[in-house]
């Protein structure tokens, strides 16, 4: 399963990618913002995206993916510090399948990814 990890923090991307690889998810591509992410969507089966990013933020990315004919059904998990109820509801209304609040234990990330890969 190809996973696209989107975060403007290279440190956070490295943590997420290492967590995924340790759980056997080795087909991982990366992007630093929503614009880069949209250019990398070919073959992607799961998107893990940050919320706050320059150029294009995660919420806009979610809306762009959901509006896309080619990628509209790809599962998306939002990884964010925006834990407030209103933000979470807005993300879910915009088409996010699930969300993770930073900081997160590795096991939480892996369980969400595994549940998405089971469809
Ligand atoms: Mg960020």
The CA distance from 107 to 113, in Å, is 10
Q: How much distance in Å is there from the Cα of 54 to the middle of ligand 1?
A: 8
Q: What is the pLDDT of residue 87?
A: 83
**In what side-by-side order are the strands of the sheet with 76-80?**
28-31, 3-6, 46-50, 76-80, 98-101
Q: What is the pLDDT of residue 88?
A: 85
Q: Where are the domains of the chain?
A: 3-117
CA 118 to centroid of ligand 1, rounded, Å:
28
60-87: pLDDT as tens digits: 999 999 999 999 999 999 998 867 788 8
pTM for the whole thing?
Answer: 0.95
What is the CATH T-level fold of the domain 3-117, as seen in this structure?
A: Rossmann fold (3.40.50)
Q: To 5 degrees, how large is the angle CA 116–CA 67–CA 9? A: 60
Mean pLDDT per block of 10 residues along the chain (119 residues) reads 97 97 97 98 97 96 97 94 81 94 93 86
- Looking at residue 50, its pLDDT comes to 95
């Amino acid at each position: 399963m190809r996973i696209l990890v989107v975060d403007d923090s290279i440190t956070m991307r490295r943590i997420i990618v290492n967590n995924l690889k340790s759980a056997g998810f080795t087909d991982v591509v990366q992007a630093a913002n929503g614009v880069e992410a949209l250019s990398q969507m070919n073959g992607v089966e799961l998107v893990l995206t940050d919320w706050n990013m320059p150029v294009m933020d995660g919420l806009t990315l979610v809306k762009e993916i959901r509006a896309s004919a080619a990628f509209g059904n790809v599962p998306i998990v939002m990884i964010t510090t925006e834990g407030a109820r209103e933000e979470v509801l807005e993300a879910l209304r915009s088409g996010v399948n699930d969300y993770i609040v930073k900081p997160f234990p590795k096991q939480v990330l892996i369980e969400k990814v595994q549940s998405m890969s089971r469809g």
